[in-house]
Structure 1
Amino acid sequence: MAEPEEGRAGAGFELPILLFAGFRSIIDELHHELAAHGHPDVRPAYGFALQAVGSDGASASEIGRRLGVSKQAAGKTVEKLEGFGYVERVDDPEDGRRKLVRLTARGVDMLARSAEGFDRIRAEWVRALGVERVRALEADLRMMAPANAFRLDAERWFAG
Structure 2
Amino acid sequence: MNSFNILRVDRESCYNSDQIDSSKLPYGGVCSYTSIQWSLQPLHDQNKGLEYELFKAERDSLSVLVLHVYRPPWIALKGFTRNLLQVIDKMDRLPTVIVGDFNINVLKESNNLLIKALATKDFCQVVHSPTHISGSCIDHMYILKDKVYDARVIPVPYSQHAAIQIRINM
TMscore range, shorter length: under 0.3
Structure number having the greater strand percentage:
2
Normalized per residue, the structure richer in helix is: 1
The TM-score, its normalising length taken from structure 2, stands at: 0.24
* Larger relative contact order (CA 8 Å, sep ≥ 6): 1
Whose Rg is larger? 1
TM-score by length of 1: 0.25
